[in-house]
Structure 1
Amino acid sequence: MKNTILFLSFLLLNTFLVEANDDIYSKKFTYQTLSPYQKHLFEEFLADEIPTGAKIEDVLTDNTSLRSKTRLAEALLFRNAAEDKEKAIVILRWILKNQYQDENTKIYGIWKTSINNDKFDQNWREFIGCDLIIIRNKFRHLLPENIIKDIETGIIHAAKGAFKRNVAPDYTNISIMSAFLMEYVGTEFGLEEIKNAGLKKARDIFKLYQSNKTFSEFNSPTYYGVTLIGLGLWRELAFSKEIQEMGKALEMDFWHETTNFYNPNLKNMPGPYFRAYGMDMNKYFAITGTWIALAVDDEKLAPLPPKKGPKYGEMSNLSTIFNVGLSIPKADLAKLKSFSKPQFIARNIPNNYKGDSIKKVTAMMNKDWMMGALWGNKRVWEQIKTGTIHWKTPDGDIAWLMTLGDGKTNVKVSKTQMSIFANDTQPNSFEVFVYAKKLTKEAFTPTKWSLSGMILGINTTLKITQIDSIDDKKLHENYAISDEITGIYKITFEIPAYWDISKPLVEITPKK
């Protein structure tokens, strides 16, 4: 009891300090209060989901995403124009009949990802379940009682399935939504064990964040956006006052961290990326980019592609974001609009990917170029980018260098240099990937890489064994780069046997 009181006292003090020191910009969206730019994004999403002349039944195909269609129903109810309600009811009836409700299976409580080629994704409990909670809370007056009843049945199954799965607090975006799903359903429907599990998970997430003031799923242009949605759900719809206050405190602190790692001149976050589907938010749709676009409310400042392109389906998150609303410190909002000053950043990340339990992040932010690095990861996963350099080229494009999360290297940066080391697995080679428009093989010499808008000084005794142009059709599949680009080269270095891992393999010095 004493520990609980101390924890609550700390929480309330932390929340008070956040609110006392930050002037908060908050906005609860309605369709009528959307700005012209916000409305444009929203209507473009709806037009993509329901093309002109199409019937709602025509878009509910066996291959479409049930998650995006749940958000489509949510969006139609949010707008509530002529026939929107009727279309949403058709969608919801279709969604609600496609949940696995057998308690004796591992997939209990999930919804199908699609009717055909179902991936049996356990995260669909949280994704669809949380959107159904929003629909139940905000739009039940627009829906027939039998739909509301089926929604309630569905979210109860989802919460029970989430309870059985018990995702760990370091699975950041899913654990935050799971805590909300269980606390909400458990409270609303008198399921004490599930409610308490949700509350405990929320406390564990909060405690883990406080350990190093970071989330474990660190610096993801996509999943940071989901994390903000989850914290918005805590703030707006959780029953527990404790979860509401934890959500507000985490949300404000998380905006600080996000804006520290955002360069508005390049309209990107630097690496390293613990999870990423691309290298340039101007060329693929990332959910964090959507949050920033809505916050700055200016197409010229928004880190979104100028037209529909890779990962456009992530724009379905507009529905959820509009319904949880925006709450951001005004100082952080200003940092999203203009670059303030160069800064060097170091972070310790509590992360359970294979490798060190605490992983080291270093990053350097300059107005026209930036770089970041990860030390201590051995997990082989294409979504991880352990070293990155981004810069703006003379024509305004964003070019970059990247080392992939292949478990071969450790990377660190100083204010002026990136150093790449071999880890203790003793690899015999490693690769560096470079993108710039009109890039040719001749740009890469042993001591200098002459790239558009950037000279990279190369200090190494290693031999370059291959310089290969990468087929862009393999980018997403092999490297989790969704950007539609050409001009990527892979540079392969040979590592001699019994290399001294205390010595850097390569030192890269950007010269803008």
Structure 2
Amino acid sequence: MPISWLFLSASCGTLSHVRRNDTLSFALNLLHESMNWMDMYYDTETGYLYSLNAAALTHETRASAWYASGLLARNEGNDVEQAVRIIRNVIDGQHKNASSQWYGDYQIYPEEPTVGREQYPPVIYNSWDPNWRGFIGTTFILILEEFPHLIPHEIQEYMLESLYNTSIGDSYRVGGVDDDNLYPAYSNPSIMRAFVTGWTGRRLNESNMTTAGEIYAKEVIDLFTRANTLSEFNSGTYAGVSLFALTLWAKYMPESSSMGQYGGDMIRKTWATLGSLYNANLKNVAGPWDRSYGYDMNRYLSILALQMWTLVGKKNAPINAKPYAMGHKDDFAIGPLVAILAPFHNTLIDNETFNSLLTFPGTHTVQTSAFSPPYDTYPRNITAWMSPYLTIGSETFSENVFGGPARSSNSFNPAVVQWARNDGTVGWLTLHAQVMDLIAVAGEKTLNLTYPSGNSTSTFTFLVGTNSRAGKRDVASWADVEGMSVNISGTIDPGYVVSFNGLVGGAGETINNFEFWNFTYSMPSDSVDIPNVLLKFDLSR
């Protein structure tokens, strides 16, 4: 019977009977909405999805694999036939040269030239993406676990061969070698790598592969249990991927595996942290964010928000009525996987966390830490002040790279402020940190930032979201920022420069498709002081 997986997958847990029934309907809703959207992109002539970026009728491999899982879950008309066709196509396009760094990985898109040729050189995370082994490998395993009765035997064997090859290829990855950055602290691909390798080893009775998966999982677990936090901390996108992968640990790995032993507990504790940082009034997880593709979860599509959809329903989650109109919309394609796992995953979340996703519990502070070796000199110290309509979050760090462990100043947000505006929209401010160390403390209506290694050439750059449609179009000072009064002091020159980064003009480009006003403070030219700035906030509601 179609969609029976929803009911067969549910198990006893902390959720009440009514809540479990609600989450089943929410998961089904996510499945159908995401599939209806992808149906429009499916090319029946080739057996692939067209590019979700509408890239001149080229196709896309990873989203096609995710779509195949949804076809099997929906199981209507010729869905199964098309899913099998997609799976075969994806494996046919797997990189087969065992001597290449990208062995066992999958094509970004089927029309691409051969990776490694002179005209198409191998550039990691561009012409090939090593994390796609994990994304597609986990999808294949979910399919083999949930829908084996729908997959012909020869295709199952082809999938197992593909998983073996992708596990071997993933073993080529060593952090710091050949431009690869896969360390255990790179949480989302590390959790997927351990799972795919360990599961495949068990399924094929390959003891060395099984052991390799367990060894890698232990490194991930050891980093997590230090403070019960993911090293890749508080990312709307990648916390979502990590929770997805941890659900595979908890659901499909035996108790004899450390992944089976720790997966469920890691999910509970990750959600507890996220719940403590979530403001249901703003529908946002407060900062800091190690890797973010936006500054307001109501405006960009995050995988974490899809998981919230299955917990509290679309209307109560940070999801627009038209998810495909949001920034980073491509991640809507993972919707079927989130929906398939939701009946199991959602039983692992405690009532306090669940309730925090619906109702803000009241003003409180959060203190924790996260650790990402080899980039961090010491664990990042995280503080957040949470109030009903204003949240302030920050992290102190000392690293050997710019832009956080992801080495991207555009996604690393170590100091973030968000507030509610009168029309219900969210205002935001983030430090665009281009330093290797920062002392940051979030307090009651305050944010204190210090560059311990800074000097007279240091600058503090704050990106501030544009006003609502009812607010001022032009911003020349803090007085023009809607909904918030900001007072700034410190060792900086009190004068500042304001510029605009817009979609079609201004001083520079947008970041993650968000327009913003850029407030930049400099130090006095002859200063010998340590660069410091203290921001004080008051809501002007």
Q: Give the TM-score, by structure 2 length.
A: 0.82
Tell me, yes or no, if the aligned pair for 1:469 and 1:490 is still in contact at 8 Å: yes
Change in 2 beyond 3 A, CA 1:459/1:236: same
Q: Which residue of 2 aligns with 1:263?
A: 279
CA contact (8 A) 1:428 1:497 kept: no
Q: Is the 8 A contact 2:30 2:309 kept in 1?
A: no
* Aligned residue in 2 for 1:236: 251
Are residue 81 (structure 1) and residue 76 (structure 2) matched? yes
Q: In angstroms, what is the RMSD of aligned CA positions?
A: 2.9
Residues 373 and 387 of structure 1 are in contact (CA less than 8 Å); yes or no, is this contact kept in structure 2? Answer: yes
Kindly state the Cα deviation for residue 86 of structure 1 after the two structures are TM-superposed.
1.1
1:248 aligns with 2:264: yes
Cα distance, 1:322 vs. partner? 2.5
Partner of 1:13: none
From 24, 44, 52, the equivalent of 1:55 is 44
Deviation at 1:439, TM superposition (A): 3.9
Give the aligned residue type for 2:453: D
The answer to whether the Cα contact below 8 Å between 2:372 and 2:379 also exists between their aligned partners in 1 is: yes
The whole-number CA distance in structure 2 between the counterparts of 1:24 and 1:511 is: 37
Q: 2:341 aligns with which of 295, 318, 324?
A: 324
Cross-structure match for 1:148: 156
Which amino acid in 1 is paired with 2:240? G
CA separation of 1:154/1:270 partners in 2, compared to 1, >3 Å: closer, same or farther? Answer: same
Q: What per-residue deviation string (whole Å, max 9, x for no partner) do you get for residues 204-234 of structure 1?
A: 2122111122111011011010111111000
Task: Summarize deviations over 1:158-213 as a string: whole Å, max 9, x none.
Answer: 11112232542211111111111111011111211111111112222122111122
Deviates more, 1:205-214 or 1:172-181: 205-214
Query: For the structure 1 residues 53 and 470, does the alpha-carbon distance in structure 2 shift closer, same or farther, using more than 3 Å as the test?
Result: closer
SS at structure 2 position matched to 1:300: helix
Instruction: For residues 13-65 of structure 1, give each alpha carbon's deviation from its aligned partner in whole angstroms, at most 9, with x where no partner exists.
Output: xxxxxxxxx935699999x9942x54443223222222299636375457332
Following superposition, the deviation at residue 465 of structure 1 comes to 4.4
Match of 1:214 in 2: 229
Task: Name 2:31's counterpart in structure 1.
Answer: 42
Relative to its length, the structure with more helix (as a share) is: 1
Which residue pairs with 1:7 in the alignment?
none
Task: Call closer, same or farther: CA 1:96–1:498 in 2, change over 3 Å.
Answer: farther
- Residue deviations 1:369-400, cap 9 Å, x none? 10111222552321101211101100001111
Q: Match for 2:463: what amino acid?
A: F
> Which residue of structure 1 aligns with residue 413 of structure 2?
385
Taking structure 1 as reference, are residues 190 and 104 closer, same or farther at Cα in structure 2, changes over 3 Å only?
same
Contact 1:28 1:324 in 2 (8 A): no
Give 1:148 shift. Answer: 1.1
Instruction: For residues 409-462 of structure 1, give each alpha carbon's deviation from its aligned partner in whole angstroms, at most 9, with x where no partner exists.
Output: 7232112211222341434323111112234555515xxx35322211222451
Q: 1:209 to 1:26 in 2, by over 3 A?
A: farther
Q: Which residue of the partner structure matches residue 333 of structure 1?
A: 354
Alignment of 1:270-349 (within 5 A): 270-297=286-313, 299-307=314-322, 308-309=324-325, 310-325=327-342, 326=345, 327=347, 328-349=349-370
Q: Which residue identity lines up with residue 391 of structure 1 in the other structure?
A: W
Structure 2 counterpart of 1:171, from 180, 183, 186: 186
Could you tell me how far apart the structure 1 residues matched to 2:362 and 2:352 are? Answer: 14
- How far, CA to CA, are the matches of 1:340 and 1:290 in structure 2? 22
Q: Distance in 2 between matches of 1:56 and 1:430?
A: 53
Q: Distance in 2 between matches of 1:26 and 1:152?
A: 37
Aligned partner letter, 2:46? E
Structure 1 residues 24, 198: CA separation in 2 closer, same or farther (over 3 Å shift)? farther
Tell me if structure 2 keeps the 8 A contact 1:467–1:490. Answer: yes
- Alignment check: 8 A CA contact 2:305 2:319 kept: yes
Letter aligned with residue 85 of structure 2 = V
1:25 touches 1:329 (CA, 8 Å); kept in 2?
Answer: no
Deviates more, 1:105-114 or 1:48-57: 48-57
CA distance 1:340–1:120, change in 2 (3 Å): same
* Percent identity (aligned): 22
Deviation at 1:508, TM superposition (A): 3.2
**Could you say if the C-alpha distance between residues 199 and 501 of structure 1 is closer, same or farther in structure 2, counting changes exceeding 3 Å?**
farther
Separation in structure 2 between the aligned mates of residue 494 and residue 88 of structure 1, nearest angstrom: 57
User: Residues 344-493 of structure 1 correspond to what in structure 2 (within 5 A)?
Assistant: 344-352=365-373, 354=375, 356-378=377-399, 379-380=402-403, 381=408, 382-407=410-435, 410=438, 411-426=440-455, 427-435=457-465, 436-437=467-468, 438-439=471-472, 441=474, 444=477, 449-460=479-490, 461-472=492-503, 480-483=511-514, 486=515, 488-493=516-521
Aligned residue for 2:495, secondary structure, equals strand
C-alpha distance in 1 between matches for 2:417 and 2:42 = 46
Partner residue, 1:106: 101
TM-score normalised to structure 1 length: 0.87
The more displaced of 90-99 and 141-150 is 141-150
Residues paired across the two proteins, number: 482
Q: CA deviation at 1:506?
A: 4.0
Where 2:168 maps in the other structure, the secondary structure is helix
